[in-house]
Amino acid sequence: MEFSELKAITEGLLFASGDEGITAKQLAQILNIPEHIIERLLEELKNDYNSPERGMHLMQSHEVFHMTTKTEHSPYFKKLLETPQTTRMSQASLETLAIIAYQQPITRTEIEDIRGVKSDRPVQTLIARSLIEEIGRKDGSGRPMLFATTKDFLTYFGLTSLEELPPLPEDIDSDQLEQETDLFFEKFTEHMDDHDHT
């Protein structure tokens, strides 16, 4: 495989790994190439992103690499979040929020197991809107990030505490949980529609 193609795949993997990031060792295993080549690929991507013409930045925290936006562009991201077009959340975000509300603290992998699809974007959207937050890491393999709802979540949906969430039946299985969360985010959608018209 050409070096340029490996570089493109590495960039895609960095993006797909989201807030959890990815290590050089993981990249080497996925691409089935030596780690020293991965280090060269990451170094080239870092140099590419240092260009003022690029909007991304490659951040390294210990052994984990994350793709992030550049801090100097943050005023524009703030404007994006404040624009009227972004006030209504997608169904995916609402569904993800409902799952987190019921199952918190929960990892992104656990959310995806319930939804059956990747949930990077909905999770990022909810963090950007301060409706959920990272509250630590789960013990075990990879120590994945745990997510929970925030005080803003309660305020936004007119709740005084999580106890006001509609109770789930005991001994619920995953199919029932999907149905319950579907009903829950439908209520959220109605609330969002009312909120948009006020």
CATH fit for domain 3-72, picks 3.40.50.11540, 3.30.450.190, 1.10.10.10, 3.30.70.1400: 1.10.10.10
| Better-predicted residue by pLDDT, 36 or 18 | 36
Angle at CA of residue 77, ends 73 and 79, nearest 5°? 115
For residue 50 the two structure tokens come to 């240092």
pLDDT tens-place string over residues 177-198: 556 556 655 655 555 445 444 4
Query: What is the reported pLDDT for 168?
Result: 62
C-alpha count within 13 angstroms, C-beta hemisphere, residue 87: 13
| Alpha-carbon gap, residue 103 to 100, rounded angstroms | 5
The residue to which tokens 């619920």 are assigned: 172
CATH fit for domain 87-196, picks 3.40.430.10, 1.10.10.10, 1.10.10.1100, 2.60.40.420: 1.10.10.10
pLDDT tens-place string over residues 21-55: 899 999 999 999 999 999 999 999 999 998 888 98
Upstream peptide bond of 166 is cis (omega within 30 degrees of 0): no
| Alpha-carbon gap, residue 97 to 106, rounded angstroms | 11
Same fold yes or no, 3-72 and 87-196: yes
What percentage of the chain exceeds 90 in pLDDT?
29
Lowest-pLDDT range, 30-39, 107-116, 129-138, 157-166?
157-166
What is the domain partition of the chain in residue ranges?
Answer: 3-72, 87-196
pTM higher than 0.75, yes or no? no
For residue 65 the two structure tokens come to 């690499």
H-helix or E-strand containing 40?
Answer: helix 35-49
CB-count exposure of residue 171 (10 Å: 0-12, 13-18, 19+): exposed
